[in-house]
Structure 1
Amino acid sequence: MDIKACSGSTAVEMGRSVEDEGGSAAMRTTETLLRILPMALCIASLAIMLKNSQTNEYGTLSYSDFGSFKYLVHASGICAGYSLLSTVAAAVPRPSTMSWAWTFFLLDQLFTYIILAAGAISAEAVYLAYNGDEYLTWSDACGTYDSFCRKATASVAITFSATLCYVGLSLISSYRLFTKYEAPVAYT
């Protein structure tokens, strides 16, 4: 057996395993871009909410007056950091191992739910600010603090856009993980 022929086939097999295991270059590029996009969206949502404050004759209203908006700020910052780290990890071509697939799968799921929860509770706060709640004798605040409400609505909408990106990432990481397993054998 020729050593050159053997080493040549090993290099091809190794190259193929990197390509097959890690996905095609187009798939890796798509995943990398899909990991960058929620980072930008989370930073935009975070910036809008951090600057969200309005003062008028009735007083000052700031995002920090609402626990849900504080959670949105924290969750957006954490998710932006995760997106940056996961973008770097996903952009580097290497063989995809089972542990990497499980790590991406679990983290993508976790951060999808974190950002979804932040968007949901902030959307509830925005809804109450626009409509109030007669049962709790809360009046609507957006008639008085209209600029605050518009910025909060924009931040929540951007957060839900980031959530959609994380859902897409969760689908990709799920696909990459579960294609590593064999189909169950049918017993007849």
Structure 2
Amino acid sequence: MSSMETEKGAVPTPQAPPVAPTDNKYGVVDVILRVLLLAASIASVVLMVTSKQTEIIVSPFGSRPNAAKFQNSPAFIYLVAALSVAGLYSIITALVSLSYMRKPIVPPKLFWILLIHDVLLLGIVAAATGTAGGVGYIGLKGNTHVRWGKICNVYDKFCRHVGASIIVSLFAAAVLVLLVFVNANSLYRRIPKY
């Protein structure tokens, strides 16, 4: 049998699309961003949890000490919970990224999984940051239309801690946006070009 006959009679078998080799610069950037996410999450949680201040409040019925703490606001509790989840998630995904950096071939499914979870966590962290920011703004400026008084003129240390925590959590959300871009770009580069 000649080689010409085999080529004419052979039925082409479908082959799986090629998997691109690992690009280490994306892996390194991914791990660095995940470590930054961990640091920002921890810093923001510590700032929020340590935001406590007690002041003497004078009223017509007498004076009494009154404490402002993050547990008094569901929005601040939500921020602490969301950033705690983000910190745990960053540890797990950094370890996954490190383990795949050593392999010559990374399955595209991993990038899809990371991308979907990064987007989901971005939504959670952004929502928590926005909610806490809204409550913090009311504490800072008050709302005369509904007669909510501002409290930051009395609880200044508490408000500084809350404000710093919100700014750091905004940085964590920006890191998550960068992670989404890195993983989407890395996944795009693995699409076979015809």
Given the two structures, how large is their TM-score scaled by the length of structure 1? 0.83
Does residue 110 (structure 1) correspond to residue 120 (structure 2)? The answer is yes
The alignment status of 1:146 with 2:156, answered yes or no, reads yes
**Paired position in structure 2 for 1:39:** 38
Matches of 2:49 and 2:163 in 1, distance apart? Answer: 13
Q: Secondary structure at the match of 1:138?
A: coil
Counterpart AA for 1:100: L
C-alpha RMSD of matched pairs (Å): 1.7
Alignment partner of 1:66 is 2:58: no
Gaps of 5+ in 1: 1-16
Distance 2:133 2:108 in 1: 37
What is the aligned partner in structure 1 of residue 25 from structure 2? Answer: 26
Q: CA deviation at 1:91?
A: 1.3
Q: What is the Cα deviation at residue 116 of structure 1?
A: 0.9
Describe the superposition over 1:130-161 as per-residue Cα deviations: whole angstroms up to 9, x where unpaired.
Answer: 11011111000001111110000000000011
Superposition map of 1:1-188 within 5 A: 20-23=20-23, 25-58=24-57, 59-92=66-99, 93=101, 94=103, 95-182=105-192
Question: Are the equivalent residues in 1 in contact too, given 2:26–2:182 (CA < 8 A)?
Answer: no
Q: Which has the greater radius of gyration?
A: 2
For 2:75 and 2:21, the matched residues in 1 are separated by 41
Tell me how far apart the structure 2 counterparts of residues 101 and 111 of structure 1 sit (CA, whole Å).
Answer: 15
Higher helix content, 1 or 2: 1
CA distance in 1, matches of 2:164, 2:22: 36
In the alignment, the residues of structure 2 paired with residue 97 and residue 180 of structure 1 have an alpha-carbon distance, to the nearest angstrom, of 9
TM-score by length of 2: 0.80
What residue identity is the alignment partner of 1:26?
A: K
SS of 2:67's partner is strand
User: How many residue pairs align between the two structures?
Assistant: 166
How far 1:182 moved relative to its partner? 4.8
CA distance in 2, matches of 1:156, 1:129: 13
Return 5+ residue gaps in structure 2 as ranges. Answer: 1-17, 58-65
| Aligned sequence identity (%) | 23
> C-alpha separation between the residues in 2 aligned to 1:45 and 1:127?
17
